Chains A and B, each alone.
Chain A
Amino acid sequence: MSATAETAEVIASAPDAALGYKSFTLRSFQFRRDEYFAHISWLTRDGRPLSHTIDVGAFLRALMRDVAWGFFYGGVNFDHVFGTTNHYKTVDLYAGTYNATMKAAGVDRLENFPTAQIAATFEQILDDWTNEGFDPFAAPQETGSAYGRKNGNNTAKITRARELAVRCVGMKGDLPLRTDARGAPVNRAFSDVPQDEPELHPEPGYEDEVHAFNLFGFLSRSQVTWNPSFTSVVKHSFMCPTTEEHMLPIIHANDRVEWFFQMTDEIHWDCADKNSGKPLARVIMKAGDMAAMPAYCRHQGYSPKRSMLLVWENGSPNLVYEIQKGDSPEIPVVF
């Protein structure tokens, strides 16, 4: 048996007779859902049973991001107790590890899994627990309910491919522009965003190099919320704009500095210490505002109206290790 096949094995129960949902096991962690909640249980470090409950809509929205992002950069906290940390070949699954009270009480648990194993289990939980009519990538006003007993699936909405430009959106052979015909109409909350494309006047032979596109128009047609996607790339500098509405479904504890540039409307961020959860700051961002998220903080954003946010990432694969060794600062600039 190959190692990959072995590690990607998913341990699932038969569907519950009354509710219709499967339960899942990842070593000492167990996952089950009922009509309203996701329930996570584990054995503490000293072997006692402990459990945690999350609203199932919130749980599925968080799980959707963690799955779609391939565990993203650094820590993806579903809430103040449960989450994952990406080590890029393996993933930590934890409960209470980054909660100062639970950690001090010794009731936390952290286990490390090969990425393929945890990814396969998370994908199956997401698919089994997402009913027909609920899109965990959408804002609450745009989709149906996550609650109730098992009622079909919504596989198409939970398996959207992440949109990553190699050089720039709209270039020949790169990520295409969004159009009605491609199934990407303008979102209701961006109906006033101009859709005209830039004027291009290439000389003969330079049609592919004289390139510009309507970034705001492209974003106004995003079909999902809180999903950074690459639009332009300079070496490891990735522009990852996204459209935001309601709450970021996770509390992100990046393993590197990232920057937010608010391009329209307004988002309020809660920033807290990434190890303990202690509140540090609120960052209120309006159109044109720029702020760094230091590598020591975890953050969660609130966007009352669908807004355009540029998430700017340095995707250098060495960066996380430079920060861990102290070669790269947790604070972007000192002045």
Chain B
Amino acid sequence: MTTTNYKTKFGSLQSFEKGGVQVIDDNVKNYAFSNCFDVASKSRPYEKVVFGKNQIYVLEVIRAEGTSPWYTCAHDEFAFSMDGEIDIHLIKLDAAQTVRDAERNGAVLVEGEPRGQKMGWMRIKRGHQAMLPKSTAYQFRAVKPAVLIQQTCMGELSIERWPDICQSV
């Protein structure tokens, strides 16, 4: 009996192949087709580029490179790596620095240096997903450029540039 070898195809910043919409009878823009590696290759470090949006909810592509600002959020968020290694540091924020409105959506920058207890840190690689618990401060650190996908709500740091990232013809 022979064993079939399968090769799982991943993408990366260095090597990715885009598919696309083959239109029969529709407006291609309605599919908002993009590619996370393509988006990250054209982004500045830690720009939160929305590439999926459903009412108040978004998925963002983040080019992780160097050290990010400290963020916090009134609700849970999640981030996973599609390429590269990222360290995530967490601080249990003092109440004074958390988002005051518990209903507020999306991540915000922590004002000044984060104050509170260190919770620890995580190192995630491609395919690993991390929780960014609500009301904590978190910071990303990546020695080499990496690609993060963030599950969150649309917030003041979210950037929409659909014409630049999506297939239009």
Name 10 interchain pairs, CB-CB below 8 A, sorted by A: A194-B125, A211-B133, A216-B126, A232-B131, A280-B24, A284-B22, A289-B35, A290-B36, A290-B51, A313-B54
Question: Hey, which chain A residues are within 8 Å of B35, CB to CB?
Answer: 286, 288-290
Q: What's the minimum C-beta distance from A291 to chain B, rounded to whole angstroms? A: 5
Nearest CB of chain A from residue B84's CB, rounded to whole Å: 13
Return A237 CB to nearest CB of chain B, in Å: 4
Question: How close is B155's CB to chain A, nearest CB, in angstroms?
Answer: 12
Chain B, Cβ-Cβ closest to A280:
B26
**Chain B residue at smallest Cβ distance from A189:** B6
Query: Interface readout for B146-169 with A: 1 if CB under 8 Å, 0 if not?
Result: 000101110000001011001000
Task: Name the interface residues of A251-287: CB closer than 8 Å to any CB of B.
Answer: 256-259, 261-266, 271, 278-287
**B6 x A259 contact (CB < 8 A):** no
Question: B57 touches which one: A202, A203, A294, A314 (CB < 8 A)?
Answer: A314
Q: Is A234 an interface residue (CB 8 A)?
A: yes
Interface pair A193/B8, CB less than 8 Å apart: yes
- Contact segment of A122-130, A150-158, A327-335: A327-335
Interface set of A (CB-CB < 8 Å, partner B) = 167-168, 171, 188-194, 196-203, 206, 209-217, 231-237, 239, 256-259, 261-266, 271, 278-294, 305-306, 312-314, 316, 319, 328, 331-335
The interface bits of chain B over 123-140 (1 if a CB of A lies within 8 angstroms of the residue's CB, else 0) are 111111111010010000
**How distant is A227 from chain B, measured CB to nearest CB, in Å?**
19
- Contacts A199-B122, A201-B120, A333-B32 given; indicate if A288 touches B77 (C-beta within 8 A): no
Shortest distance between the CB of A109 and any CB in chain B (Å)? 28
Bitwise, B32-70 to A at CB < 8 A (1) or not (0) is 111111100000000000011111110100000000000
The count of A-to-B residue pairs whose CB atoms sit within 8 angstroms is 234
Q: Give me the 7 closest cross-chain CB pairs, A-B, nearest first.
A: A216-B127, A284-B19, A335-B162, A287-B11, A288-B11, A212-B130, A202-B120
- Asked whether A281 lies within 8 Å of B129 as measured between CB atoms, the reply is no
Chain B: CB-nearest residue to A199:
B123
Q: How far is the CA of A312 from the CA of B127 in the complex (A)?
A: 17
Contact of B26 among A168, A191, A197, A271 (CB under 8 A): A271
B31 and A261 form a contact (CB under 8 A)? no
A291-B32 contact given A209-B90, A234-B151, A281-B21, CB 8 Å threshold: yes
The answer on a CB contact under 8 Å between B129 and A231 is yes
Which of B53, B76, B122 is close to A332, meaning CB atoms less than 8 Å apart? B53
Residues from chain A with Cβ under 8 Å of B6 in the complex: 188-192, 305-306
The docked-state distance in angstroms from the alpha carbon of A271 to that of B37 is 25
B144 interface residue, CB < 8 Å from A? no
B80 with A215: CB separation less than 8 A: yes
Taking CB atoms, residues of chain B closer than 8 Å to A211 are 122, 130-131, 133
Cross-chain contact B33 with A287 (CB below 8 angstroms): no
Known: A199-B122, A237-B151, A288-B38. 13 other contacts (CB 8 A): A199-B123, A201-B123, A214-B128, A215-B129, A236-B57, A237-B54, A263-B127, A281-B21, A284-B20, A286-B35, A289-B19, A332-B30, A335-B29
Among A192, A217, A259, A279, the residue within 8 A (CB) of B59 is: A259
Contact B33 A168 (CB under 8 A): no
Contacts of B20 in A (CB 8 A): 283-284
In the assembled complex, the CB of B74 is this many whole angstroms from the nearest CB of chain A, namely 11
B113 at the interface (CB under 8 A from A): no
The chain A residue sitting closest to B147, CB to CB, is A288
Expressed in whole angstroms, the minimum distance between the Cβ of B61 and any Cβ of chain A is 8
When A261-B149, A281-B31, A291-B31 are in contact, do A234 and B76 touch as well, CB less than 8 Å? Answer: yes
Complex CA–CA separation, A283 to B29 (angstroms): 12
> Across the interface, which residues of A come within 8 angstroms of B55, CB to CB?
314, 316, 319, 328
Shortest CB–CB separation between residue A120 and chain B, in angstroms?
33
Whether A264 and B10, one on each chain, are in contact in the complex, defined by CB atoms closer than 8 angstroms, is yes
User: What residue in chain A is nearest B118 (Cβ atoms)?
Assistant: A203
| A286 touching B17, Cβ below 8 Å | yes
Q: Does B141 contact A (CB under 8 A)?
A: no
The CA-CA distance from A312 to B29 in the complex, in Å, is 19
Judging by beta carbons under 8 Å apart, are B122 and A259 in contact?
no
Per the bound structure, the CA–CA distance linking A278 and B25 in Å amounts to: 9
B149: nearest chain-A partner, CB-CB? A261
Minimum distance in angstroms from B28 CB to a CB of chain A:
8
Q: A206-B92, A209-B119 are in contact. Are A257 and B24 (CB under 8 A)?
A: no
Q: For B136, list chain A residues within 8 Å (CB).
A: 209
**Min C-beta distance of B120 to chain A, whole Å:** 4
**B99: CB under 8 A from chain A?**
no
Establish whether residues B7 and A192, one from each chain, have CB atoms under 8 Å apart when the complex forms.
Answer: yes
